[in-house]
Amino acid sequence: KKHSIVLVAEGCMTAQDCQKELSQYINVDNRVSVLGHVQRGGSPTGADRVLASRLGGYAVDLLMQGETAKGVGIKNNKIVATSFDEIFDGKDHKFDYSLYELANKLSI
Protein backbone atom coordinates (compact mmCIF):
# COMPACT_ATOMS: atom_id res chain seq x y z
CA LYS A 1 0.00 0.00 0.00
CA LYS A 2 1.18 3.49 -0.77
CA HIS A 3 -1.38 5.34 1.34
CA SER A 4 -3.22 4.89 4.62
CA ILE A 5 -5.65 6.97 6.61
CA VAL A 6 -5.64 6.88 10.39
CA LEU A 7 -8.67 8.26 12.24
CA VAL A 8 -8.26 9.48 15.80
CA ALA A 9 -11.33 9.78 18.02
CA GLU A 10 -11.76 12.84 20.20
CA GLY A 11 -10.52 12.18 23.70
CA CYS A 12 -8.22 9.31 22.73
CA MET A 13 -5.22 11.51 21.98
CA THR A 14 -4.62 14.53 19.80
CA ALA A 15 -3.96 13.96 16.14
CA GLN A 16 -0.55 15.57 16.62
CA ASP A 17 0.31 13.12 19.43
CA CYS A 18 -0.76 10.23 17.21
CA GLN A 19 1.45 11.58 14.43
CA LYS A 20 4.44 11.72 16.80
CA GLU A 21 3.80 8.16 17.98
CA LEU A 22 3.59 6.88 14.40
CA SER A 23 6.79 8.70 13.49
CA GLN A 24 8.66 6.82 16.22
CA TYR A 25 7.71 3.42 14.79
CA ILE A 26 7.44 3.85 11.04
CA ASN A 27 9.60 5.85 8.69
CA VAL A 28 6.99 7.34 6.38
CA ASP A 29 5.72 10.81 5.66
CA ASN A 30 2.61 11.43 7.74
CA ARG A 31 0.43 14.51 8.02
CA VAL A 32 -2.40 15.66 10.23
CA SER A 33 -5.67 16.93 8.83
CA VAL A 34 -8.25 18.05 11.38
CA LEU A 35 -11.70 18.00 9.81
CA GLY A 36 -13.25 20.63 12.08
CA HIS A 37 -13.81 23.52 9.66
CA VAL A 38 -13.50 21.34 6.55
CA GLN A 39 -16.45 19.23 7.68
CA ARG A 40 -18.51 22.36 8.24
CA GLY A 41 -17.80 23.68 4.75
CA GLY A 42 -14.35 25.24 5.16
CA SER A 43 -12.53 27.74 7.31
CA PRO A 44 -14.47 30.86 8.24
CA THR A 45 -14.16 33.60 5.65
CA GLY A 46 -13.90 37.31 6.31
CA ALA A 47 -17.64 37.57 5.65
CA ASP A 48 -18.33 34.82 8.23
CA ARG A 49 -16.30 36.71 10.82
CA VAL A 50 -18.04 40.01 10.05
CA LEU A 51 -21.46 38.36 10.30
CA ALA A 52 -20.54 36.72 13.62
CA SER A 53 -19.31 40.08 14.93
CA ARG A 54 -22.49 41.86 13.83
CA LEU A 55 -24.72 39.21 15.40
CA GLY A 56 -22.67 39.24 18.60
CA GLY A 57 -22.69 43.04 18.73
CA TYR A 58 -26.46 43.09 18.29
CA ALA A 59 -26.87 40.53 21.08
CA VAL A 60 -24.73 42.68 23.40
CA ASP A 61 -26.78 45.78 22.51
CA LEU A 62 -29.96 43.88 23.42
CA LEU A 63 -28.47 42.81 26.75
CA MET A 64 -27.40 46.39 27.52
CA GLN A 65 -31.04 47.43 26.93
CA GLY A 66 -32.24 44.78 29.37
CA GLU A 67 -33.53 42.46 26.65
CA THR A 68 -32.97 38.80 27.54
CA ALA A 69 -34.17 35.34 26.48
CA LYS A 70 -33.87 36.08 22.76
CA GLY A 71 -32.15 34.47 19.83
CA VAL A 72 -30.38 36.64 17.27
CA GLY A 73 -30.39 35.85 13.56
CA ILE A 74 -31.04 37.05 10.04
CA LYS A 75 -34.54 37.44 8.62
CA ASN A 76 -35.22 39.08 5.26
CA ASN A 77 -31.58 40.17 5.15
CA LYS A 78 -31.80 42.07 8.46
CA ILE A 79 -30.49 41.24 11.91
CA VAL A 80 -33.43 40.50 14.19
CA ALA A 81 -34.09 39.24 17.69
CA THR A 82 -36.77 36.66 18.39
CA SER A 83 -37.96 35.69 21.85
CA PHE A 84 -37.25 32.15 22.98
CA ASP A 85 -40.98 31.85 23.72
CA GLU A 86 -41.73 32.41 20.03
CA ILE A 87 -38.89 30.18 18.87
CA PHE A 88 -39.94 27.28 21.10
CA ASP A 89 -43.72 27.77 21.03
CA GLY A 90 -44.36 24.36 19.50
CA LYS A 91 -45.90 25.80 16.35
CA ASP A 92 -44.90 24.56 12.94
CA HIS A 93 -42.54 27.32 11.77
CA LYS A 94 -41.52 27.55 8.14
CA PHE A 95 -38.41 25.44 7.71
CA ASP A 96 -36.09 25.81 4.73
CA TYR A 97 -35.40 22.19 3.81
CA SER A 98 -32.98 23.22 1.06
CA LEU A 99 -30.60 24.56 3.73
CA TYR A 100 -31.00 21.35 5.73
CA GLU A 101 -30.19 19.26 2.65
CA LEU A 102 -27.19 21.46 1.86
CA ALA A 103 -25.85 21.00 5.41
CA ASN A 104 -26.23 17.23 5.06
CA LYS A 105 -24.36 17.25 1.75
CA LEU A 106 -21.48 19.29 3.13
CA SER A 107 -21.08 17.44 6.42
CA ILE A 108 -20.44 13.98 4.94
Listing DSSP states for 38-74 in one string gives HHTTSS--HHHHHHHHHHHHHHHHHHHTT--SEEEEE
pLDDT for res 28: 81
Q: Which residues pair with 79 in a beta bridge?
A: 74
Average pLDDT, stretch 67-93? 91
The model carries a pTM of 0.55
Of the candidate ranges 8-22, 32-46, 68-82, the one whose mean pLDDT is the lowest: 32-46
From its phi and psi, is residue 43 left (phi > 0), alpha (psi between -120 and 50) or beta?
beta
The contacts found for 37-44 with CB under 8 angstroms, 24 or more apart, are: 39/106, 39/107, 39/108, 40/106, 40/107, 41/106, 41/107
The Cα–Cα gap between 88 and 17 comes to 43
